[in-house]
Structure 1
């Protein structure tokens, strides 16, 4: 029997749900970095462009994307061949090396600043439950499933699901200007089943799991379920999510469980690789260098042909006795 359209549609929907389930994560509250499918990303972030190993190949690749550098490199290599160039061997390679060195120093200085900023961010501290007690941890050591305490005017170290807050209405206010540019404060609501957990001792004993969607770059979208023993499963949405890059405002403190860390946070998933940019001058220079290179090739071919014709013609003038001398081509 041939499959009907409805059965095909049902299979498609089933496969989508199965694929979504395989990608979903189960965050074990108050546990180490454990969930069913795979390990989460480290909360250590890195925005630096180079390492000691990758600096040279990446730098050279970017520099020789400029046709002017390629052109002068070819000229410098040709000048190293004896009796080929009327100029010195170092008239091109020394200026080219100087320009490349200055560019390398500039790139190193800028990347060192990025590494310093990364280190400052990764070494910020926050209160975390570790092995049943409250401790102070660096941001880079935070794991999925950790419960953290963030105070007023502090930034959130990772993407958190809000558990409870100091506000009597079980809400908190966040500033998202670093994330979406909006200066007005936004409100977040504690889940009903955890809003009463304002005593740190209660949070140490908290168990259960958060079934969350896979990491996504959609900052206004989140779906999850808070599951606790002997309690109903409570749905979670964007109003229970505290994003990295935002700050707590007008609220003394909040408690939250980490669901996404490091480069899996929505903040970093929205980072795009900086495209290679060329100024108008660089674009014009590249075109001129290509034209100049083609003209050089044509001139070389023309001079070679003329030199061949000239010497072939001289062979008929026997009385000049040119065979006794070595003709030199210029």
Structure 2
């Protein structure tokens, strides 16, 4: 199967590649054409997933495609952007029709869940690598940034943390997946749900935001540095799922939540007066700490005593 036949058969004819909703021209020409309404800005982010680094190889291509697109789409949620489209640069060791069928089906499913349209990309031969660029739209000047947190703000997350890290031993085959609790953790790893609607609801309300991909404490450090403030995390307030607590002791579960990564839950700072309205609207806001004057990230117990901060999440090129 040649490159162009591969594109036509598995991607160009997919439902998610049809024009509409801001996509004027899609796959088939040298560039796609996107259209924004007056007063809107374009949000763009690129994620690259490498076999053996970001996912085990081999793995189920259907699940892999969902994970790849969800991880990229989570960056749009972090900026408060409404989804628009995505491009896919796919490097494959071989053009296996069975693998591509599963991958394109998983991509279609997640694209529908995120309301994203495939606008183009590239295919090459080499070690398995998935590069996805996502595009979103938002009103000019309303993007959620990392740099707006102020002392007195609440530190919040959009849900339970640590499930993806708890799933990792099962993903790698180090433990047998034997019950529904493990299946719940595996679902969080392979099919995370980008909090796109929550991100849009936080526009004009949150002072700073990002998604949690590299671990809570590591990502808190990004906001603290960009905003020139200190973030205080209260350990007992960090939410843990029943599925994670069913397979790990609480100390291990908390370690996963603090530094495990791959949660793709929003982390944001919120002026206190905004909290009640968001809760009344039903948004999954969990207060886990506060913003103070100073610098860095500080972990506290229930009595306010300082705790040692575990190692930060995964970083490329670190020892």
- Flag the structure with larger Rg: 1
**TM-score bracket, shorter-length normalisation:** under 0.3
